[in-house]
Structure 1
Amino acid sequence: MAERSTTPAIGIDLGTTYSCVAAWRHDRVEIIPNDQGNRTTPSCVAFKETERFVGDAAKNEATRNPTNTVFAVKRLMGRRFSDVSVQSDMKLWSYKVIDGDGDRPNILVDYQGTQKQFAAEEISAMILTKMKEVAEAFLGSSIKNAVVTVPAYFNDAQRQATKDAGLIAGLNVMRIMDEPTAAAVAYGFDSNDVSSAVKKNVLIFDLGGGTFDVSLLSISCGVIEVKTTAGDTHLGGEDFDNCMLNHFVEEFRRKQRKDISSNPRALRRLKTASEQAKRILSTTTETAVHLDCLYEGIDFYSAITRARFEELNIDLFKKCIETVKRCHEDAGIDKNDIDVVVLVGGSTRIPKVQQLLKDYFSGMDLCKSIHPDEAVAYGAAVQAAKLSGQGTEEIKNLVLIDVTPLSIGIEGLGDITNVVIPRNTPIPVQKKVVRKTVVDFQSNVTFKIYEGERVRSEDNNLLGQFSLYDIHRAPRGETKFNVTFEIDINGILHVSAEEPISGGKKQITLINREGRLSKEEIDRMVHEAERYRIEDDQFKKKVLAKNSLEDEAYSLRRLMEDEKVISKVASGYLEYTAGAVDKVINWLKHDVPKDVYVYNSKKKELQEMCSKLSEMSL
């Protein structure tokens, strides 16, 4: 059992479109509101010439500053620039993604008077930092430890990229937790099923802004065991928005004979309008999109019905149901033996999704008792409390058994992937295999590690490769290697190989870094993140000092309008003071941010005038 920590640990749902943070406090989980009072925060970062925004303020910049406002970065995490999904998404994003080192996608923005490149992990780190600051302001103490969630179908590279983002944000990521498992924890505690002796089969249907997961779990006696998981790390609300966006772009082209797809600002405005229309269509059957001067001074107006929206997305909706079917069939459980279907993620509010799901389960009532936007953060906070030794006895005794979503294997002869750890194997897990040389007297051997369900290696995802050199030279088949595969509790893979020879052994450990950040890059990004944080703090201090000076100027102006002051203070001094106040107010209107001491010194001058006026009017 974990030792009790004196500092709070938090749970963070790092979402594609929105993020949420929660903590265990006062014997319960509290969802923490941000500085705008909202319980979820847009996963958005905007860059301007002198400042950087994260969250609500960044989303407000999206239409004004589209090329420097970054959203949906989760879709780049752990992916290669050449990935088909990355190439497809880039066409719909208003910001620019370029090919970085090692086929890594880098985001290009204008910031502080120059073009800067950021890895996806850095942008995610900025969002995690924001969530950390939100929690610190609410809890009144510094935060170091966190549980961060990822889609269950995230692969090894995506999980490690998320952990790297946490490190850059200055967090100790205690655990990478699967989102459906976190939602199952929230359901279990909300329904009290987690402590019940009656076993329940629970299907978590998690359809968020950019990812989709289905997990089938059993819950009883404080044990939550994942049986199977399935999903798509590139399916969610963003795709439904994009379908509608493409529909409107084509409509504009048809009606006006103009293509707006290459105009970032027009595209961003239409994307925002599409998202709003989608939300409205969840509660009404028809809505309209009306944008003034969308492109080249031309207004855009279009009415869209819920039926048309459903038609545009029907293939994606059906794909969701196919994934549900695959999930419970993999577990060998009939759909009629599933006791509860729990809806998680904002996109489950779409009526057609609910209808198709209900029809598939023969009219079963879907569980909507847990908040779809907050459930994942809730479960992560419970896990954070458990790992830090906090919470009730029920939390301390909670047992979570997760599974690996994809098969892991090693390349054999004929470019065939030999599976070592099959998908849906409970984790943590360790398995060993023996490999032999295939050429007489060979001096080195290379191991290629893949994940995926295809037979041919080239059809799977290459996680990485490593070689052993100067091995024991002998006829083929005589030199053997013990290869160990280990998936830790975070779902991250470690592979090692050793060659037992007389007098010793050779060993190398693979923690896949291909296409990912090196330790040196992470260290650099940690340093830069701290520099950006200091810059942000300095900018905030300047803004506060400027606002304080402005408040003082207008307070002094109101004081001079007081009849008591007018009657007792010489008109000459009043004119002098009024001139000084007007000068400061005009200066503020045309001011570029100055150092804090400049604002404070001017404020001190006005305070002295205010004190003198007060004395004169006594």
Structure 2
Amino acid sequence: MRFGIDFGTTRTIVAAVDRGNYPVVGIDDIDDDQHDHIPSVVALDGDRLVAGWEALRHAQGRPLLARSFKRLLARPDVTAETLVAIGDQERRLGEVLATFAAHVVERIRRSPLFAQGSDGEHGSDGEIEAVVGVPANAHSAQRLLTLDAFSRAGVRVLALVNEPSAAAFEYTHRHPRGINSKRTSVVVYDMGGGTFDASLVRIDGTDHEIVRSLGVARLGGDDFDEVLADLALAAAGRDGDVFGDRARGRLLDEARTAKERLAPQSRRMVLELGDDDVTVPVDEFYEAATPLIDRSIDAMRPLIGETEPGTLADTEIAGIYLVGGASGLPLVPRVLREEFGRRVHRSPYPGASTAIGLAIAADPESGYRLRDRLARGIGIFREQDAGRTVSFDPLVEPAASFDDGGAIFASRRYRAAHNVGWFRFVEYSALDASGESTGDLTPLVDVIVPFDPALRDGRDLAAVPVERREDGPLVEETVRVDANGIASIRIELVDEGYVVERSVERA
């Protein structure tokens, strides 16, 4: 049976492919009460990692819970060995991801929808096939760690799809007449628990082309919770208090619950702080939280261009579609409508929009097609002048299109000018007018190539001084990005048949 899995920072939501429908899968907790999500948390039970609802139950009153561990995936130096703090202990991120993915699979198999199967004949041992969501701004290591976790949990991962691209499928499925000959595009504004992404999507019937994607790796609902928690401490006169992880975690839970209960007519929010109740005026919270939304608008604005405040006039944009759990906060559509006018629409199920779109992507009968683009470019820092200077060379620019085979290739040839080649490949978000990288950089892979045949004896090339040479070998560099957005590098000395290949290390 096929599913869409939206692995979120705070909640993971699963939608199923069911004969042309895409229902959200009901997940039973350990008391057999049903929910529309799985908490994205892990906890320690002795030396054993547990996840989801079991983790929440086990960790009650204990400092043994790890929330929002997905945020670690956005770190530029993340690997499977990155440590996750769980109370006063630590576990490898690869282990945490594997435990959580296995829990998601186990919960899917326990669901009545899976037991019945889309054709009414599948049993609980049937194969799970899924399209899994990732942030549009996710780098190669983040994508690979996500892919590995769900693959090792027994899921046949059909594809990784950028979350706002999936939400665009849900938009078209829900609003088939929202696009016309004058309004051909939609901007998907995806504010999740930990990340913000936005994509400009050109739509022609069921054909979707991602024109460009932008985002902020660490901006989401968790940040709203932090703002509210700090306001509660200030209201109680305790903003100078020092909290341990357990007490701070309880306060953030209170903030998250109070935030999610907000309705447009709410005037005050009440949080438990120890034995006391603390009241925070909603207007005060909104004033403190508005700069976070302003950051998202600033990040998204290049997709829209400069428009008059309160309007999307003179654009081909049919609307801005708000998805992601954090966009359920009433302040979010309010601020965006003040900026862009009436053509701002929130999904009726903002938390589930991406999962539904992923299920549509997993359904071969849906007829939906996606032509995505790369959100982050790939470049290289090269040694020059015998290692005395370094230059940046963009190889694959952001918004590069995937070919018909679902890949991106960039290749170039040149004569080596040194005895050793140092290649520092990175992923980058933008270039300035002079062609230099701007914004955040994520290391992809470092490669050292012995151009001098005498250096190919297994020695430590990092200790070899870089020397300028004439008539070096002919070098061909090839960068490949696969359909899941994961990059690999191939460097060949053409005349000698000497090849060095590197990819992001598997977990």
Give the TM-score band, short-chain normalised: 0.7 to 0.9
* 1:327 aligned partner, one-letter code: L
Q: Judging changes above 3 Å, is the alpha-carbon distance between structure 1 residues 407 and 34 closer, same or farther for their aligned structure 2 residues? A: same
**Post-superposition offset of 1:56:** 2.9
Tell me, yes or no, if the aligned pair for 1:42 and 1:56 is still in contact at 8 Å: yes
Q: Which residue of 2 aligns with 1:161?
A: 145
**Post-superposition offset of 1:210:** 0.7
Q: Which residue of 2 aligns with 1:34?
A: 27
Q: Which residue of 2 aligns with 1:350?
A: 329
Query: Which of residues 450, 455, 463 in structure 1 aligns to 2:426?
Result: 450
What's the CA shift string for 1:26-63, capped at 9, x where partnerless? 33212110013111121112222386542234334555
- In 2: Cα distance, 1:476 partner to 1:458 partner: 36
3-state secondary structure, aligned to 2:346: coil
Give the fraction of aligned pairs with identical amino acids, expressed as a percent.
24
Q: Judging changes above 3 Å, is the alpha-carbon distance between structure 1 residues 476 and 315 closer, same or farther for their aligned structure 2 residues? A: farther
3-state secondary structure, aligned to 2:497: strand
Q: Which residue of 2 aligns with 1:491?
A: 485
Tell me, yes or no, if the aligned pair for 1:150 and 1:179 is still in contact at 8 Å: yes
| Between 333-342 and 125-134, the greater mean CA deviation after superposition | 333-342
Q: Which residue of 1 aligns with 2:225?
A: 241
* Higher gyration radius (CA): 1
Query: Which of residues 58, 78, 83 in structure 2 aligns to 1:106?
Result: 83
Q: Give the superposed CA RMSD.
A: 2.9
Q: Which residue of 1 aligns with 2:498?
A: 506
Tell me, yes or no, if the aligned pair for 2:172 and 2:178 is still in contact at 8 Å: yes
Q: Judging changes above 3 Å, is the alpha-carbon distance between structure 1 residues 116 and 205 closer, same or farther for their aligned structure 2 residues? A: same
**Post-superposition offset of 1:274:** 1.1
- In 1: Cα distance, 2:326 partner to 2:135 partner: 15
Query: Which of residues 100, 106, 130 in structure 2 aligns to 1:127?
Result: 100
Structure with the largest fraction of helix: 1
- In 2: Cα distance, 1:199 partner to 1:291 partner: 48
Aligned residues: 460
Q: Which residue of 2 aligns with 1:231?
A: 215
Q: Judging changes above 3 Å, is the alpha-carbon distance between structure 1 residues 508 and 233 closer, same or farther for their aligned structure 2 residues? A: same
Q: How does 1:201-350 map to 2 (within 5 A)?
A: 201-252=185-236, 255=237, 259-261=241-243, 263-291=244-272, 294=274, 299-329=275-305, 336-350=315-329
- In 2: Cα distance, 1:337 partner to 1:302 partner: 47
Q: Judging changes above 3 Å, is the alpha-carbon distance between structure 1 residues 281 and 369 closer, same or farther for their aligned structure 2 residues? A: closer
Q: Which residue of 1 aligns with 2:118?
A: none
Tell me, yes or no, if the aligned pair for 2:64 and 2:86 is still in contact at 8 Å: yes
What's the CA shift string for 1:486-541, capped at 9, x where partnerless? 1111011111111111xx4112222123xxxx5xxx4xxxxxxxxxxxxxxxxxxx
Q: Which residue of 1 aligns with 2:10?
A: 17
Structure 2 residue 373 is the aligned partner of structure 1 residue 409:
no
Q: Which residue of 2 aligns with 1:376?
A: 354
- In 1: Cα distance, 2:139 partner to 2:21 partner: 32
Q: Which residue of 2 aligns with 1:137?
A: 110
**Post-superposition offset of 1:283:** 3.5
TM-score, length-scaled by structure 2: 0.83
- In 1: Cα distance, 2:251 partner to 2:90 partner: 26
Tell me, yes or no, if the aligned pair for 2:228 and 2:255 is still in contact at 8 Å: yes
3-state secondary structure, aligned to 1:415: strand
Q: Judging changes above 3 Å, is the alpha-carbon distance between structure 1 residues 120 and 338 closer, same or farther for their aligned structure 2 residues? A: same
- In 1: Cα distance, 2:271 partner to 2:182 partner: 53
**Post-superposition offset of 1:337:** 2.5
**Post-superposition offset of 1:312:** 1.6
Tell me, yes or no, if the aligned pair for 1:79 and 1:105 is still in contact at 8 Å: no
Q: Judging changes above 3 Å, is the alpha-carbon distance between structure 1 residues 60 and 307 closer, same or farther for their aligned structure 2 residues? A: farther
Q: Which residue of 2 aligns with 1:55?
A: 52
- In 2: Cα distance, 1:52 partner to 1:379 partner: 31
3-state secondary structure, aligned to 1:317: helix
Structure 2 residue 69 is the aligned partner of structure 1 residue 73:
yes
* 2:107 aligned partner, one-letter code: V
Tell me, yes or no, if the aligned pair for 2:74 and 2:142 is still in contact at 8 Å: yes
Tell me, yes or no, if the aligned pair for 2:417 and 2:472 is still in contact at 8 Å: no
- In 2: Cα distance, 1:169 partner to 1:335 partner: 48
Tell me, yes or no, if the aligned pair for 2:319 and 2:345 is still in contact at 8 Å: yes
What's the CA shift string for 1:236-293, capped at 9, x where partnerless? 00001012223334555xx3586232x223212211111122223344433343536x
- In 1: Cα distance, 2:502 partner to 2:186 partner: 36
Q: Judging changes above 3 Å, is the alpha-carbon distance between structure 1 residues 492 and 351 closer, same or farther for their aligned structure 2 residues? A: same
Query: Which of residues 33, 40, 43 in structure 1 aligns to 2:40?
Result: 43
Tell me, yes or no, if the aligned pair for 2:49 and 2:96 is still in contact at 8 Å: no
- In 2: Cα distance, 1:185 partner to 1:360 partner: 25
- In 2: Cα distance, 1:377 partner to 1:335 partner: 32
Q: Which residue of 2 aligns with 1:578?
A: none
Structure 1: any 5+ residue segments left out of the alignment?
1-7, 84-101, 387-391, 523-618
**Post-superposition offset of 1:470:** 5.3
| Between 186-195 and 425-434, the greater mean CA deviation after superposition | 186-195
Q: Judging changes above 3 Å, is the alpha-carbon distance between structure 1 residues 370 and 314 closer, same or farther for their aligned structure 2 residues? A: closer
Q: Which residue of 2 aligns with 1:152?
A: 136
- In 1: Cα distance, 2:438 partner to 2:99 partner: 36
- In 2: Cα distance, 1:238 partner to 1:250 partner: 19
Q: Judging changes above 3 Å, is the alpha-carbon distance between structure 1 residues 105 and 189 closer, same or farther for their aligned structure 2 residues? A: same
3-state secondary structure, aligned to 2:97: helix
Tell me, yes or no, if the aligned pair for 1:21 and 1:31 is still in contact at 8 Å: yes
Tell me, yes or no, if the aligned pair for 2:321 and 2:344 is still in contact at 8 Å: yes
**Post-superposition offset of 1:217:** 0.4
What's the CA shift string for 1:533-589, capped at 9, x where partnerless? xxxxxxxxxxxxxxxxxxxxxxxxxxxxxxxxxxxxxxxxxxxxxxxxxxxxxxxxx
Q: Judging changes above 3 Å, is the alpha-carbon distance between structure 1 residues 103 and 177 closer, same or farther for their aligned structure 2 residues? A: closer
Q: Judging changes above 3 Å, is the alpha-carbon distance between structure 1 residues 188 and 471 closer, same or farther for their aligned structure 2 residues? A: farther
Q: Which residue of 2 aligns with 1:400?
A: 370
Structure 2 residue 449 is the aligned partner of structure 1 residue 468:
yes
* 2:296 aligned partner, one-letter code: C
Tell me, yes or no, if the aligned pair for 2:200 and 2:210 is still in contact at 8 Å: yes
* 1:130 aligned partner, one-letter code: H
Tell me, yes or no, if the aligned pair for 1:498 and 1:507 is still in contact at 8 Å: yes
**Post-superposition offset of 1:25:** 1.4
* 2:504 aligned partner, one-letter code: N
Q: Judging changes above 3 Å, is the alpha-carbon distance between structure 1 residues 144 and 508 closer, same or farther for their aligned structure 2 residues? A: farther
